Amino acid sequence: MILKAELHCHIEGAAAPDLVERQAQKYGADVSGFIADGAFIWHDFTSFLAAYDAAANLFRDENDYARLAEHYLTSLAREGAIYAEFFTSPDHAERAGLSPAAYTAGLAEGMRRAKAKTGIESRMIVTGVRHFGVESVEAAARFATRCGEPLVTGFGMAGEERFGQAEDYVRAFEIAREAKLGITVHAGEFGGWESVQDALDHLKPARIGHGVRAVENAELVRRIAQEGIVLECCPGSNVALNVFDGFDNHPFPRLLAAGCKVTLSSDDPPYFATSLAREYDFARQHFGLDAKALNAITRTAIEAAFVDKKTKAALLARLPAMK
C-alpha cells in the first residue's frame, strides 16, 4: 500500500452521516433538513456550508470531539496514512456551546487514542472562518497562539473566500506568524487566480488550501513554483463542488508539470464521496500518476507538514527511497 499523508481536512467535515445521526439521537435533534437516505443533502457551495454547519452543531462536548478525531484518524490510518493535519474551528465549537479550549482538548485526546491504536501522527491547524468576519478570524488566531496545546501547529482560514479582501485579515495572520505557527489559507477554489495572488501578497502563507485556480495565470503558476508554495489539492472536492467540470479538466497535472508542489487531500470526505485513498486513486486513474509519483506526493506533503523537525525526519524515513 502507498503510504499517505493528509494536509487538508476539516474535522467537522470528516463526520460521516451515520455518526452525525448518532449524535442527533444523543441530543434529540432532527437531521431531516440535511441528511436523507444516509447521505448529506446539498447542491452548491452555500448549501454545502449550511449542511456542514448543521452537522457540526451536533458535536457538543469534549468527548464528542475526542470520538470524532479518533474515528477519522483511525480510518485514515487504515487507508495507509502515516500523518494527518486537520483544520479545527473554534467558532463552530462555540456555536455548539463548547469552549475552544475544551474542544481542542477533546480533539487532542482523540489524536492520542488514534496514535496509540494505529501509530498515526497528527497535528491541528486552527482556522478562522472568513465569512464570520475579521474579528472572529483574529480571535481564532489569538486562541491558536495562546491555547497551549502542543498539537496545534498551524493557523489557517477557511469559509467563503469571496467574502471581504485578503488584506482585511493581515493582522490575524501576523498574530499567528509571530507565534511561529505554520500558515495556510483557502484561496483559488471559488475565487479565481487573483484570490490566490492576494492571499500570497497579503497573508504570506507557506501553503494554499486548494490554490488550483492559479492555473488561470501562467505567471502566477511560475511564482508558486519558484517560491515553493505548496498547493493542498483536493480534486474530489473540486469536482463534487463543480469547481471543475470533471477530473479530466482538473489542473492538478498541469500544476505538477509546471513544477508546483502539489499534495492530495480529502477536504470534507463524506460530503464529496471521497477519502484520502480515493484521492490517490483519482490521481492514478485520471492524472496518470504511478506508484513512484504518488510516493513523491506523500513526500511533498510531509516535507510541507507543520510538524517539528524530529517528527518530520522520522516520518520521511518511513517513506520508500526516491529512485
Residue 37, annotated as binding a ligand: no
Name the nearest CA neighbour of 148 among 116, 172, 181: 181
For the bound state, the minimum distance from the C-beta of residue 267 to ligand ADE, rounded and expressed in Å, comes to 5
Q: Which is nearer to ligand ADE, 21 or 190 (CB)?
A: 190
For CA atoms 198, 144, 112, 17, give the dihedral sign: negative
**Grid cell 498541469 — which residue?**
254
Strand partners, 4: 81
Name the nearest CA neighbour of 60 among 85, 108, 15, 92: 92
Number of residues near Zn ion (by CB under 5 A): 1
Q: Which is nearer to Zn ion, 17 or 236 (CB)?
A: 236
Tell me the chain's radius of gyration from C-alpha atoms: 18
For the bound state, the minimum distance from the C-beta of residue 319 to ligand ADE, rounded and expressed in Å, comes to 27
Interface with ligand ADE by CB under 6 A: which residues? 10, 13, 52, 158-159, 186, 189, 237, 267-268
Residue 71, annotated as binding a ligand: no
Select the residue whose beta carbon is closest to Zn ion and give its number. Answer: 267
Residue 235 · residue 252 · CB < 8 Å = yes
Q: Which amino acid is at 19?
A: L
For the bound state, the minimum distance from the C-beta of residue 212 to ligand ADE, rounded and expressed in Å, comes to 11
Residue 202, annotated as binding a ligand: no
Q: Which residue numbers are catalytic?
A: 189
Cα–Cα distance, 30 to 300 (Å, whole number): 42
- Written as nine digits, the cell of 185 is 489559507
Binding of residue 121 to Zn ion (CB under 5 A) = no
Residue 188 · residue 208 · CB < 8 Å = yes
For the bound state, the minimum distance from the C-beta of residue 250 to Zn ion, rounded and expressed in Å, comes to 16
Residue 242-271 contact track with Zn ion, rule CB under 5 A, x = bound? -------------------------x----
Contacts with Zn ion by CB under 5 A lie at 267
Q: Residues marked as binding?
A: 8, 10, 186, 267-268
